[in-house]
Amino acid sequence: NAGVTQTPKFQVLKTGQSMTLQCAQDMNHEYMSWYRQDPGMGLRLIHYSVGAGITDQGEVPNGYNVSRSTTEDFPLRLLSAAPSQTSVYFCASSYSLMAGEYGYTFGSGTRLTVV
Amino acid sequence: EDQVTQSPEALRLQEGESSSLNCSYTVSGLRGLFWYRQDPGKGPEFLFTLYSAGEEKEKERLKATLTKKESFLHITAPKPEDSATYLCAVSTSGTYKYIFGTGTRLKVLA
């Protein structure tokens, strides 16, 4: 089925460890983004990309890196995990930056716990 | 500062009991207002985009409306399967920003 695939679904890290959250889409969307969702707060944008080779920072980029070598993939790297990065992470994609008539397509999320 | 506020935080309805969810916004320039549905353990699912005051869109039991300061998501004769968190988001003119509200958790009882 066409959509956004995120792996893993669950992850527990120790403080200071690094890891990569994977995101892949098969809809040929140019725009991809990473959000985090925390209780009592709206989804917050971490990083986004408007096409292969082009990335930029969102609202809460510190502690995260991204790259976009292909249209399909947009991995999110945690450099040195901290308890404050405990959250649910969503990858989203769209045919354009402003989403427009079709909105964003979200993955099912990665629930990350940092101990 | 651009802001999106949703109310109520939580709502419990009996099956068939119609109601409305509110999304008020303060932004420098509205490009579009979006409604999403989110089920537990899943990502948000796109419902509607509204662009200008007076615009309305419908999908099954849901109807979204937009004014210059707020949007309403009307739920007519809800069913238990309508239980979910409903998120509102706005995109602002001239930026990449897509600001989400914190959502309304809707529970429809059979």
CB contact under 8 A, B34 and A99: yes
Partner residues linked to B43 by β-bridges? none
- Answer yes or no: is pLDDT of B5 > 70: yes
CB contact under 8 A, B49 and A105: no
- Answer yes or no: is pLDDT of B109 > 90: yes
- Between A45, A102, A106, which is nearest B44 by CB? A106
d(CA A102, CA A90): 18
Residue A1: what pLDDT? 64
SS3 for A12? strand
Q: Could you report the per-residue pLDDT of A73-91, keeping only the tens digit for each? A: 999 999 999 999 999 999 9
Return the higher-pLDDT residue of A114 and B98: A114
Q: Could you report the per-residue pLDDT of B26-71, keeping only the tens digit for each? A: 988 888 999 999 999 999 999 999 999 999 999 999 999 999 999 9
Grade residue A96 by pLDDT with cuts at 50, 70 and 90: confident
Q: B97: which chain A residues are within 8 Å (Cβ-Cβ)?
A: 45, 59
Residue B16: what pLDDT? 97
- Answer yes or no: is pLDDT of B96 > 70: no
SS3 for A66? strand
- Answer yes or no: is pLDDT of B97 > 80: no
Burial A62-82 (b: 16+ CB within 10 A, else e): eebebebeebbebbbebeebe
SS3 for B97? coil
Residue A101: what pLDDT? 74
Q: Could you report the per-residue pLDDT of A32-62, keeping only the tens digit for each? A: 999 999 988 889 999 999 999 999 999 999 9
Q: Which two tokens stand for residue B1?
A: 């500062």
Partner residues linked to A21 by β-bridges? A76
